[in-house]
Amino acid sequence: MGRRSESIAVKQLLSVSRLVTLVGTGGVGKTRLALHVARQTRRAFPHGVWLVSLAELTQPDLLPMTAMAALTAESRAGAGVAELSEYIGDQRMLLLLDNCEHMTEACAKLVADLLRNCPELRVLATSREALRVEGEAPYTVPPLAVPEMGQLRTGDSHNSESVMLFLERASILRPGLTLTSDDEQAVVALCRRLDGLPLAIELAAARIRALSIGELVNRYNDVRVLTSGSRNAPSRQQTLRATMDYSYRLCSPEARALWARMSVFSGGADLTAVEAVCAGGMPSRDLAEETLSELVDKSIVTFDGVRYRMLDTLREYGRERLRTLSEEQPTRTAHRDHFAALADEAATSWFSPDQPALLGRIQAELANIRAALEFCLTEPGEVDTGLRMASDLWYYWLGCGRQREGRLWLDRLLAVDSGLSPERVAALWVNSYLAVYDGDIPAGLRLLDQYRELATPLNDPAVVAHATYIRGLAELFQGGIEDAISLLDEGVRLERGLPELSPLYPPALIDFGSALCYRKQPNRAVAVLQEARNLSTAHGDQWLLAWSLVFLGLAELIEQRVPEAVALLNDGLARQRALDDILGLNIAVEFLAWAALTASAPDAERAARLMGASQALRESLGAHLAGIQRLLEWHEQYARRAQEILGQRAFNAALENGRELGKDDAIAYALDEKATRHRTADSDLPLTPREREIAKLVASGKTNKKIAAELVIATRTVDSHVEHILTKLGFNSRTQIAALFAKQVPDS
């Protein structure tokens, strides 16, 4: 990767400062240097090196949740600064905050709070400006080294970082590229002209398919090309701007338009989204695909096999061009419409066999959904659309543990306009429902009162049904079991009586059945929960089916039928694992701990270990067992029983052992599956499918350039994947990857 002296300097700063910020213009290579340093210092941080990418984040309020999601290796989390600080505690870890420049104040506050509350934490940040936090050590990332003219001897191109980068990228587009002595000096001149900026060099190299080295250098030596940036900007920023201007002019008119329109995407997009949002005015789908391929060939857009992405610097440039073309508002509207349609699909298909795939799509598009909601929040006249979109996603907010994020969007949208509309009415019950599940009962009840007050004149029977059920749920969470049972019973009756299947009818059955369990009326509970089970099965739903199985297991446990209880709990837990429902996993694992103590031969050590695992699963979302009072009371009773059997010291040791298992190992242990702590299969490693594919190719001896050519992706993309693989595995070299994957690589 080069950057040896820079890496040494940054590591030295990290050894004396708890906050090091890599600063520099866009495209100078801050992220890559940070990843390289993080990988090299991995062994100094026994509790891990964690990357928090902020390029796609637009709402500062979501910053703690995003960091918690990265730390807990989950796809979502509902944490604030206090929960994040508590989770990190005195763990010795490195937090890599990447791309802080668009929310420096929020990042500065978060980092200051974390460093104050977490004594062993160190932070490595990248930003275009320093965070200005006390104790910060800023480090300005320089461009790549460029030799003086005539200094580089023929055949010594590998000694220049900037020249090597150019050759790496150019060789992908023109395999077998060799340089004459004149070519080498020409490339040196080009890299000097581009100030050694990595992004500018890569954009220039992308033209090698159509131009010779000499022609390329002559074009970039054109004074008009290199003086089109802002005269007030620093010289390096002028150079980068000029390089992008030049790349833009070399694009076809269709590619220029597509570059500008694609800038509205956050977190990239698949082909369907690109065509829906950006292909306006293009005569055919074939032309849209051809134009997209042109942008990939020119290194403006990268493609990982699923999604098309742009570097943040190129997105900003595209957005500026979009404004110049007066297309920003219509393109952002088209973007909003596309992702509002996805939210609408979620609302209409929430209770169906499509549920897991739909939730996966929403998760993959979360950054775009956030961008669409922000558009609705800031664009006049779009509030109702935003309310409908945020409300349509209630199932995702709840089922994927993002209640707080859902509440954040709904709170903001509701605050913009207080008029009466169907969208506002729906948003109030959804927001109330999310608040109750988030444990904020007072806020939930206030919203519920607003909902009833606003909606009562509509004479809609759903209003009374939803309000009755949600109030019963609030009583259940607060421990008022008798009132909860009465309200939930009535709520179920009202939801069942609505003319169409109510979105709250199946969950109301689950909550009513659970309340009957807490009241120790298992026979009544089984009848209600079995209805929920049958309804879920008939509609192909997995999420509520899993919950019905878990509480049916609790009903059996209350009756002391342990084998039957364990079978139901295992079935529910396995389904919740497939859906990644953290709250469901938390409760199911806890119930299995109780089953271990209820068995004819109690296994207190297993019970304590499962209790620890259950607590660790929930830490990223808040209160253990969702703060439900009756469950917390039973937890204390079972914990005391385990302590009496094991003794305090052994109980604490088993509890801590369970807390350290990690999610995958904890679930495998709860299900009595083969232990996975000593991983050997590549599918068990904490890598994405693409990372596993690249790791196997590394193990086969291929260079990053050859891997890029084989997978038809940019070498820069492979570089980033390899950096992530090394960081995730705690390795320092490609040799270690090769050793790990040696048994999985087929002979060739």
* Least confident residue range of 53-62, 167-176, 385-394: 167-176
Tokens found for residue 294: 């042109």
* pLDDT in the model for residue 592: 97
Domain 4-140, CATH homologous superfamily name and number? P-loop containing nucleotide triphosphate hydrolases (3.40.50.300)
Question: Beta 94-98 vs 122-127: how paired, if at all?
Answer: parallel
* Least confident residue range of 228-232, 266-270, 484-488, 723-727: 228-232
Which long-range contacts (C-beta less than 8 Å, at least 24 apart) are formed by 491-495? 491/465, 492/528, 494/461, 494/464, 494/465, 494/468, 494/469, 495/465, 495/466, 495/469
* pLDDT in the model for residue 389: 97
Alpha-carbon distance 10 to 670, whole Å? Answer: 43
Residue 209, pLDDT > 60, answer yes
283 pLDDT band (50/70/90 cuts)?
low
The most confident of 147-151, 232-236, 689-693, by mean pLDDT = 689-693
Alpha-carbon distance 564 to 522, whole Å? Answer: 14
DSSP state of 674: P
Residue 70, pLDDT > 70, answer yes
* pLDDT in the model for residue 748: 35
Residue 366, pLDDT > 90, answer yes
* pLDDT in the model for residue 150: 57
**pLDDT tens column, 497-541:** 999 899 899 999 999 999 999 999 999 999 999 999 999 999 999
Alpha-carbon distance 208 to 187, whole Å? Answer: 12
Half-sphere exposure of 319 (CA within 13 A, CB side): 12
What architecture is domain 330-459?
Alpha Horseshoe (1.25)
**pLDDT tens column, 340-362:** 999 999 998 888 888 888 888 99
Alpha-carbon distance 190 to 173, whole Å? Answer: 18
Tell the residue number behind the tokens 């490693």, with chain if given: 685
Residue 231, pLDDT > 60, answer no
726 neighbors 41 (Cβ within 8 angstroms): no
Sign of CA dihedral 566, 572, 576, 579: positive
* pLDDT in the model for residue 288: 76
**pLDDT tens column, 96-111:** 999 998 899 999 999 9
The class level of CATH for 251-326 reads mainly alpha
Residue 194, pLDDT > 90, answer no
**pLDDT tens column, 452-486:** 999 988 888 999 999 999 999 999 988 899 999 99
What backbone torsions phi and psi does residue 303 show, to the nearest 5 degrees? -130, 125
* pLDDT in the model for residue 285: 64
Closest CA to 10 of 26, 30, 237: 30
Closest CA to 118 of 22, 47, 31: 47
Where is pLDDT greater, at 707 or 330? 330
* Least confident residue range of 143-147, 148-152, 326-330: 148-152
Tokens found for residue 459: 């004479």
Please give the C-alpha separations between residue 97 and each of 42, 85, 144, 495, 671, in angstroms, as whole numbers.
Answer: 16, 15, 22, 46, 36
Sign of CA dihedral 361, 366, 370, 372: negative
Alpha-carbon distance 614 to 657, whole Å? Answer: 12
In single-letter form, the type of residue at position 62 comes to L
Alpha-carbon distance 183 to 217, whole Å? Answer: 10
**pLDDT tens column, 487-504:** 999 999 999 999 989 989
Closest CA to 581 of 674, 684, 484, 510: 510
Please tell me the CATH code under which domain 682-744 is placed.
1.10.10.10
Where is pLDDT greater, at 195 or 507? 507
Tokens found for residue 668: 């495998």
Tokens found for residue 381: 């006249």
Tokens found for residue 91: 């763990």
Please indicate whether the domains covering 251-326 and 682-744 agree at the CATH topology level.
Answer: yes
* pLDDT in the model for residue 225: 46
Residue 633, pLDDT > 60, answer yes
- Domain extent listing, the chain: 4-140, 157-248, 251-326, 330-459, 682-744
- Mean pLDDT over 49-64 rounds to 89
Residue 742, pLDDT > 60, answer no
Residue 212, pLDDT > 90, answer no
* 95-127 burial code (b ≥16 CB/10 A, e <16): bbbbbbbbbbebbbbbbbebbebbeebbbbbbb
Work out the percent of the chain whose per-residue pLDDT is above 90: 51
